[in-house]
Structure 1
Amino acid sequence: MTDTNLHPFTIEVSPLTTPKGHFGWAIRKHGKLLERSDRPHVSEDKAHAQAIAAVERTAHPGTGARR
């Protein structure tokens, strides 16, 4: 799953092998791995939403809540 309006970032959501039925995400900038989820997400949509939030934090540092 990719969003075209996130250039130069790319979001990849994929199923995890463990735990089964959960998803993880990875953010790439110009093809290089920038960040990866550290938690399993129960659905592909929830994983994608968390990845979007991470891109926003990365693209606009200092405007969001502290991590």
Structure 2
Amino acid sequence: MSDDNLHPYTIEVAPLAKPKGFFGWSVRKHGKLLERSDRPHESEAKAHTSALAAVERAFRAGTETRRR
């Protein structure tokens, strides 16, 4: 899943205050918080990759419930 196909999800990656030098992420759906990282990531890229995996899980969960 690429960033172009994320609608209605948005990913926000930001540096953490503690521990310094680490990053966290949050995923929003239609502007409402859906999920937030619970652990620090060593780089912005690793945080973004982890957030994309969370979006994919949320997207799959949404499609599985619609099929039933």
What TM-score results when the alignment is normalised by the length of structure 2?
Answer: 0.84
Is the helix fraction higher in 1 or 2? Answer: 2
Cα distance in 1 for residues equivalent to 2:12 and 2:38: 14
Q: Which structure 1 residue ranges, 4+ long, deviate > 3 Å from structure 2?
A: none
**RMSD of aligned alpha carbons:** 1.2
The aligned residue for residue 45 of structure 1 is 45
| Greater C-alpha Rg | 2
Gaps in structure 1 of 5+ consecutive residues: none
What TM-score results when the alignment is normalised by the length of structure 1?
Answer: 0.85
1:3-44 per-position Cα deviation (integer Å, ceiling 9, x unaligned) = 332000000000000000000000000001110000000000
Question: Among the aligned pairs, what percent are the same residue?
Answer: 70
Figure out how many residues of one structure are paired with residues of the other and give that number.
60
User: Bigger relative contact order, structure 1 or 2, given CA contacts below 8 A and separation 6+?
Assistant: 2
Cα distance in 1 for residues equivalent to 2:57 and 2:5: 16
Q: Does residue 33 in structure 1 map to residue 21 in structure 2?
A: no
The CA deviation at 1:57 is 0.5
